[in-house]
Structure 1
Amino acid sequence: MYLTQGLHRAVQQSPDALMTVCGDRKRTFGEAADRVARLAGAFRGLGVAEGDRVAMLALNSDRYSEYLLATPWANAVLNPVNVRWSPAEIAYSFDDSQTSLLLVDDTFAPMIPTICEAYPGLKAVVHCGDGPTPEGTFSYEQLIADSDPIPDARRSGDELAGLFYTGGTTGFPKGVMLTHTNLITSALGATASGYVFRPGGTYLHAAPMFHLADLAGWTAQLMLGGVHVMVPSFEPVAVMKAIQDHGVTDALLVPVMIQMLVDHPQVDDHDLSSLERVLFGASPMAEAVLERAMRALPQADFTQAFGMTELAPIATLLGPDDHRAGARLRSAGRAAPHTEVRIIDADDNEVPRGTVGEIAVLGGNVMRGYWNKPEESAAALRGGWMHTGDGAYMDDDGYVFIVDRLKDMIVSGGENVYSAEVENAIASHPSVASCAVIGVPDDEWGERVHAVIVLRPGSTVTLGQLREHTKSRIASYKAPRSVEFIDALPVSGAGKVLKRELRTKHWADADRSVN
């Protein structure tokens, strides 16, 4: 199995079929294959050798798709860059991975001098934007025009496909080593579920293409020979217009994107009826938001995916029937067709159903390990199972219910409080747009439950009102004892709330982060 396989199949069967739509640019599979072969030749000409790392720092585009194909075509390794990172974080990942070539679009071109100064190991920088080519860089389109096509190396199987750096929410980023088998297995498993992606579909790239969630969608859609529609980044009106103009059938969105979409004042001004399937994940979604989304898009099937970069990325799926039934909306679903999932204790023993433990996953999607981190790799992959660090329980029918990241557990007055449960209760208040719950130091309780809230425009709520609302839904000791209001929650490029940033000011004077 290899990432370029779907392109070869499509060229053989339907070379004149539409592959990509990006703004005014439309390209067929045949055109894309020729460009990819030439781009791979250009990489070789710039000194990229077997196994070298090729990075891309860019917003979504058809060129991002070409990069994903040309890199393995040239027998090299992908290193997609998180677009939210600072130059220092990017340089760290380049130094750690020994990246040799960087592709940069117009948005991030101003960062080139700083990155190159911090990491002088790049052999070349390629400008893949539409504006003027910056001094000292190569023009993407000129390289394709001037280079001869080369044969596909068909890098495949257990060979390294990419280094995918985690978001850095704890400590320094870690390079997750994923093989071609890992990536294809996860995409095939999602497709085999029958929940997402169908032949003849049109997939919208609104989530960032550097992220594994969208890469899984890209891989599945490529294998099915479908159309890819790209918008540079998520913006509600642009997304609605793309769905309407191009008849988008499938979209992957993180919960914050879904919330912004269905709550947008122009949502009823666009025809979104073509949208058949919505896959969401990357972070939990409050039931109240999910219910609003299902009302706004009644024709669409909703599927939730739980996973992580280390799982390429899918572990469990909650399908459309369960969303319609409504009884298990708080569940992350059951093991996907390509995985085996267990809830285990600290000694790696499976716990009884209904007991909270750690999610562990086994399957062909499980990473090879962390780049240059053998001890962390061995700890995470004990017995071949990926230990996710997520706390959850499983019911008698195999549905997984995530209660929190284990490290996010709050111990208040001797009671364990899992923030995901509190966030779900708070988010159902009509004044709350979004929220995050953290533990902060408290002289009486050790730690207290603290809510950080973004209000809906024109709305207000007091701590007392919030506590009463929360206590009407969950145990009273789980209700927040303090609250702060902010304009927007800090999120990573993948849409996950950066709780570390929210905690920092509360624990800055402490010698540890728990009480």
Structure 2
Amino acid sequence: MTSTAQPPFRNYVEIILDGLARGPGTEILISGERRIRADEFRSLVHRLARALRERGVGPGRTVTLLCGNLPETIAVRYAVNLLGAHFNHLYNRLASDVQALMMADVETYAFVVDPRLADRAAELLRTVPPVEHVLLLGDVPGTGENRDGATAAGEDLLALAAHQPDAPIASAASPEDLCFIRHSGGTTGHPKGVRSTFGRMQGGIEQTRLLFSGAGRRDLVCTPLSHAAGFIADATLAAGGTVVLHYAFDPAEVLDTITRERITNMMLLPPLLYQILDHPAAEDTDTSSLRQITYGGTSSSPARIAEAVRRFGPVLQQGYGQFEAGAVSILPAAEHDPDRLDILRTAGRPVPGVEVEIRDQTGRVLPLGEAGEICVRSDRAFEGYWKNPGLTAQVLRDGWVFTGDLGTLDEHGYLTVVDRIKDMIAVVGGHVYTTELEDFLNTHPAVRQSAVYGVKGDGGHERIHTTVVTAPDTTVTADELRTWVRDGRGAMYVPDHVDFTSALPLTDAGKPDKKLLRSGAGTLS
């Protein structure tokens, strides 16, 4: 009689660590001067897991991380998940009040802190409900504490782990258990905790490997591990590749690292890609090792993407997705023709296993070419928001994720993301799509980047504001740009206010910070 018993569930951390065991001497993580081998990393994860277990970390408990791009950040996240607990990784550059909301929302049991962020951690601990354990990844700079005692803000987790054995620990997780909570909406409103199980995490890593990985991958992570870069780092390690970590984004350092470490892959939000493209060293830097630059996360300028293709070659790939919906669509490198701005304006076609429909406000599926809400169905959809069934019911309906993005589908299957519904500007005579106006402004020879956003006027109506970064050695006036828009897009799209700045403010993830721009409308110079 044939057995139908299913094999025991293998936690994604176990799978990654088992893979690393097959090449113990391989360098898998590079951070500054530090080069960490697979065996060293595996040992650290298991020792951290034992130290955390002694402090009560296990299934059903939340560990909040306030950590930058360090090898220990990845290791402690794996240790938490190996124990069957779930993590909540705070975005480092959010305002403290938003971070406090996130931390309190998930009922934090243990708080793991990057010593460089100890001051912010202390600020948060004064405002959030009591936390059972505060654990630092090393000494707080300037405290004079040593590794054998507690630091000023909490216990030194690395010191605690150093005394632990490093024999493997069996996972305590099942596919239905909560793996992580990631927040969205922290820059635009009350943050929403997106729940993901171990089963979803497992499938997401495999999908990411297929879309973004490859043999011999050397991945440069220069955006926060708390965002999509963390998932891609997981997929790279799962594929036997190497992850090079930058603590913060710096275009000169990125270019230098590409050459020095022979980087093959990296992920960037479009504003960061533009900074690299515009850097004086870009033209002379050897980037021949690059096989794939993945961009996404916010709208991109087709004209600027075409420029990047001409500079870096056929290595650009666009990805569109959400924490709630997972990966939705891909525009692969083969379709990045710099002379086809109409194709570059799209987000590509849905990835295998993903269904996309465009629906109106009543839920009716719209014909091809008509703009409506992008709705997504796949087995990578999230399980709901953390302790918010009302919002879950609004966003997740009959297996479909209502993304809050406006878009269109054409007869060739290409998906175009038109705007966020909440970013669309209601004006007399209709609606202005911010991404459409940004795309047009960015084609002006004197404009390098732009951000368009609505600002309430005295009468309650929205006014169109745009903040522009001009190209070097060029000049353009606000009136000239208004005329350019009127002639090219019509009077309805003409900005009421045009501000000029040397650089757009960015969120922690690298998106233009329209909330900040909106709050200071008219004050930039």
Fold match (TM-score > 0.5): yes
Please say if 1:62 is aligned against 2:71.
yes
1:511 corresponding residue in structure 2: none
Moved more, 240-249 or 6-15: 6-15
Work out whether residues 44 and 74 of structure 1, in 8 Å CA contact, stay in contact via their aligned partners in 2.
Answer: yes
Distance across 1 between alignment mates of 2:460 and 2:473 = 34
Question: In structure 2, the residue corresponding to 1:503 is in which secondary structure?
Answer: helix
Q: Does 1:142 align with 2:155?
A: no
After the TM superposition, which residues 6-85 of structure 1 pair with which residues of structure 2 at under 5 Å, given as runs? 6-85=15-94
Residue 350 of structure 1, aligned match among 365, 372, 389: 365
Displacement after TM superposition at 1:259 (Å): 0.6
| Structure 1 segment 238-253 matched on structure 2, within 5 A | 238-253=253-268
Deviation digits for residues 202-246 of structure 1 (CA, Å, limit 9, x no counterpart): 1111111011x1122122212211111111011112111221111
Query: What 5-or-longer segments of structure 2 have no aligned partner?
Result: 1-9, 146-150
CA distance in 1: counterparts of 2:183 and 2:456, whole angstroms? 31
Correspondence for 2:403: 388
Task: Name which of 155, 164, 188 aligns with 2:206.
Answer: 188
Deviations 1:42-98 (A, max 9, x none): 111222232211122122121121122111112210111110123332222221111
- The reply to whether residue 108 of structure 1 matches residue 117 of structure 2 is yes
Matching residue within 170, 179, 187 for 2:188: 170
Amino acid at match of 2:225: M
CA RMSD of aligned residues (A): 2.3
**SS of aligned partner of 1:229:** strand
Match of 1:206 among 198, 219, 222: 222
Looking at structure 2, the residues matched to 257 and 3 of structure 1 have their Cα atoms a distance apart, in angstroms, of 30
The answer for the alignment partner of 2:516 in structure 1 is: 501
Gaps spanning 5+ residues in structure 1: where? 508-515
What whole-Å deviation, never above 9, does each CA across 1:405-455 have from its counterpart, x for those lacking one? 112222222222211000011112232232111233468994443212233
**Per-residue deviation at 1:192?**
2.9
The amino acid that maps onto 1:159 is D
The residue aligned with 2:312 is 297
CA deviation vs aligned residue, 1:368-413 (integer Å, no higher than 9, x gap)? 1111111001110011111110000000111111111112222222
The letter of the residue matching 2:320 is F
Q: Kindly tell me: are residues 59 and 12 of structure 1, through their superposed partners in 2, closer, same or farther at Cα, counting changes over 3 Å?
A: closer
Residue 406 (1) aligns with residue 424 (2): no
Give the conservation status (yes or no) of the 8 Å contact 1:438–1:499: yes
What's 1:321 paired with? 334
1:310 to 324, 339, 346: 324
Higher relative contact order (CA 8 A, sep 6+): 1
Please say if residues 330 and 351 of structure 2, whose CA atoms lie closer than 8 Å, have aligned partners that are also in contact.
Answer: yes
Taking a change above 3 Å as real, the CA distance of residues 445 and 4 of structure 1, as seen in their structure-2 partners, is closer
Task: Report if the CA contact (8 A) 1:176-1:370 is conserved.
Answer: yes
Contact persistence 2:465–2:521 (CA under 8 A): no
Residues in 1 aligned to 2:104 and 2:273: alpha-carbon distance in whole angstroms: 36
Distance 2:413 2:199 in 1: 26
Q: Is the 8 A contact 2:205 2:234 kept in 1?
A: yes
Does the Cα contact within 8 Å between 2:450 and 2:466 map onto a contact in 1?
yes
With normalisation by structure 1, the TM-score equals 0.91
Letter in 2 for 1:142: A
**Aligned residue type for 2:333:** P
Is 1:179 matched with 2:197?
yes
Change (3 A) 1:156 1:290: farther
In structure 2, the CA distance between the partners of 1:446 and 1:8, relative to structure 1 (3 Å rule), is closer
Instruction: Indicate whether 1:263 and 2:281 are aligned.
Output: no
1:93 is the counterpart of 2:102:
yes
**CA–CA distance in structure 1, aligned partners of residues 84 and 408 of structure 2:** 42
